[in-house]
Amino acid sequence: MSDSPQRSSSQARNIKLVVAYDGTRYHGWQRQADGVLTVQGCMEAAAGRILGHPVNIAGAGRTDAGVHATGQVANLHTSNLSIPTLNFRRALNSALPADIAAVSAEEAPPAFHASGSAVAKTYRYRICRRPLKSVMQASHVYHFWPELDAGRMAAAGARLLGEHDFRGFAFAAERRKNSVRTITGCQVSEPDEELHVAVTGDGFLYKMVRNIVGTLIEIGRGRWRPDRIDEILQSRDRGLAGPTAPASGLCLVHVEYPPW
């Protein structure tokens, strides 16, 4: 490695972090040019100060600007960490801004990669239906007042399950060749005066969850029938899907990995 006595005295370690953040202030997870505030950029800077060397922190999901996380997963490699992971997590939380937190830190096997090893991700979308908008939640929900039929939305969501080509739900200019993904869960629930859509899948195209939610809203308010989902999947035509739901309602809540 190098002639640094600290590095040579400790082994290379792969640290898995579960990360929560309020995405409101950030231009998304992914590091960008200098001067653009991103969650990855802030975390790499904070970890770098603690570890004393440049750090690359890989994240499981590239959340967009304004999108939140309670269960983002990231990992970093270091040979410069001689303290227990709990102490590292505490140091990291002190060094991070108040709207980013490391919820947990543990040592992972050398081959673990937050993105490459993930088998499933779950996003939750919050629609707030309170008659008076909740100003303190403005950046964490989508306020939507017209009637929504949750049963109809759940029926539509069930039609997304399985392996499909989701190009019709992707960002129009998406250029990835492979747009086939497998959705294993799409639950609609109504806690308090909110309506939540939780979508689990092995991967998501750019803006796919927000386009799914925007489509479910059109179905829930009665403009389209649930089988519109089949048409969008079969035609792969983005023009048939609903508008992109606002970023504020979206949160990455869980990333699933195989047991070590």
Q: What are phi and psi of 158, to 5 degrees?
A: -60, -25
Closest distance of CB 149 from a copy of itself, Å = 23
Region binding a copy of itself by CB under 8 A among candidate stretches 75-83, 134-142, 204-212, 218-226: 134-142
Region binding a copy of itself by CB under 8 A among candidate stretches 43-51, 95-103, 161-169, 195-203: 95-103
Region binding a copy of itself by CB under 8 A among candidate stretches 55-63, 139-147, 172-180, 225-233: 139-147
Q: Is the dihedral of CA 172, 206, 152, 161 positive or negative?
A: positive
Residues 6 or more apart whose Cβ sits within 8 Å of residue 133: 143
Residues 6 or more apart whose Cβ sits within 8 Å of residue 74: 16, 17, 19, 40, 43, 57, 58, 59, 60, 114
Closest distance of CB 139 from a copy of itself, Å = 7
CA distance 116 to 30: 16
Region binding a copy of itself by CB under 8 A among candidate stretches 5-13, 77-85, 98-106, 201-209: 98-106
Single-letter code of the amino acid located at 249: G
DSSP state of 184: E
Q: Is 99 a catalytic residue?
A: no
* 153 touching a copy of itself, by CB under 8 A: no
Question: Annotated catalytic residue: which of 22, 34, 64, 149?
Answer: 64
* 64 touching a copy of itself, by CB under 8 A: no
* 98 touching a copy of itself, by CB under 8 A: yes
For the segment 225-254, give every residue that binds a copy of itself (CB under 8 A).
Answer: 248
Residue among 7, 13, 143, 221 that touches a copy of itself (CB under 8 A): 143
Region label for 200, one of left (φ > 0), alpha (ψ between -120 and 50) or beta (otherwise): beta
Which is nearest to 103 in space by CA: 80, 123, 81, 73? 73
172 SS3 class: coil
Nearest to a copy of itself of 146, 151 (CB atom): 146
Q: Which residues bind a copy of itself (CB under 8 A)?
A: 20-22, 24, 68, 93, 97-101, 103, 132-133, 135-136, 138-140, 143, 248
Catalytic residues: 64
